[in-house]
Amino acid sequence: MTARHTSWVDVDPGSDFPIQNLPYGVFRRGSGPPSVGAAIGDLVLDLAELHRAGKFTDTPVAGGNVFDRDALNDFMGMGRPAWSAVRRRIHELLGADCAELRDDAALKAKALVLQDDVGMLLPARIGDYTDFYSSIEHAMNMGKMFRDPDNALLPNWRHLPVGYNGRASSIVVSGTGIRRPHGQTKGDDAEAPTFGPSRLLDIELEMGFFTGPGNALGEPIPVDRAAEHIFGMVLVNDWSARDIQKWEYVPLGPFLGKSFGTSISPWVVTLDALEPFRCTPPPQGPRPLPYLRASEDWAYDIGLEVALQTASMPEPATVSRTNFKGMYWTVVQQLAHQTVNGTNVRPGDLYASGTVSGPTEDSCGSLLELTWRGTRPIRLPGGEERKFLEDGDSVILRGACRGDGYRVGFGEVRGIVLPAA
């Protein structure tokens, strides 16, 4: 599937969802039942309807309608041969020279619906959620701000993908409001902590991947087999209460400062769609231990941006631009490390990259870094300033790979800050 491939569906050249993409999601028409769909232009292709019409009879999903579901888990669990076969079949049906669906007016009316006319749901039932810490620029910034500027990285950071297991229960789909959390905080000069709403509410620009077929308990996933277990990727906003986090994180790491909300984009972009944008990751030194040494390059050239819109702004303003290709630890290294102790993963588990930050002041993935702990407020159009998020602020994350005359995008993940309960 290259830039030369076109569809009989009219797709705007600037769309995130050309025929080269075909991401998967779960949607609902009005109060009807959920269904699995694929995005093409500004439309959703209802895969459950296509299955009922017999359009997947020569694929691994022919035996049962895995698209007549409220989540992608069953399809995710079938593995890469099934994923690739289904994607090829969808591409065939939507191809410019294929009349099979194009000229079937009745099926086309049932199977194609405007994205604006549906509600998007979480793409998977997320059993487990891991958040990594894989950007060296982000880790350096955090170390400089909170530890020792001359020794910003902890001794283990260059040897393993640092991460923690978060809460899957508070992961929400784009468009869901995020309520300002309560918690304990303690000022540097205070004698005791106090309880109340977070005053330093922040975001983290991340990418995440969903796993497909898992592994048996006690059997690690080798780094060179890890991609076989990765279904696709989404945008992630891991909301963070920095004041709660600062007081609680020693000695066991993130807890209430992170677990109140994580937002993800509704469309899952497959590794097949991202294949043309694989690239060489940054050099790693010292050389990782053998179980983390991949024989192929698994970085991805995905341009990312953060936009902020206050309640008084007519439209969002971009406050940061960066790229996922700069991540020090890759997705296959993350999954290999997650399972090297024998832990088992399952279809629909989510693994987030950690904050994606670049080398410049305007390429950071959090307000904490962009404002350098609030010492450099962001000035927005209209004159407003922000150090951290205020009630009514909306944050919009976007991401896309740019090909020759097309783009493979993720849509957006959007959330608005609601007042504390």
Give CA–CA dist 187/193, Å, rounded. Answer: 7
Q: How far is CA 52 from CA 37, 111, 118, 163, 276, in A?
A: 13, 10, 20, 42, 32
The amino acid at 321: R
Convert 117-177 into a string of H (helix), E (strand) and C (coil): HCEEECCCCCCCEEEECCCHHHHHHHHHHHCCHHHCCCCCCCCCCCEEEECCCCEEECCCC
Name the β-bridge partners of 240.
202
CB 297 within 8 A of CB 281: yes
Q: Which residues contact 296 (CB under 8 A, 6 or more apart)?
A: 224
Residue 229 is a catalytic residue: no
- DSSP letter at 44? E
Question: Out of 51, 91, 138, 229, which one is annotated catalytic?
Answer: 138
3-state percent helix, strand, coil for the chain, nearest multiple of 5: 25, 30, 50
39 torsion bin: left (phi>0), alpha (psi -120 to 50), beta (else): beta
Computed on alpha carbons and rounded to an integer, the radius of gyration of the chain in Å comes to 22
Residue 237 in 3-state DSSP?
A: strand
Name the β-bridge partners of 237.
205, 263
Task: Give me the active site residues, please.
Answer: 138
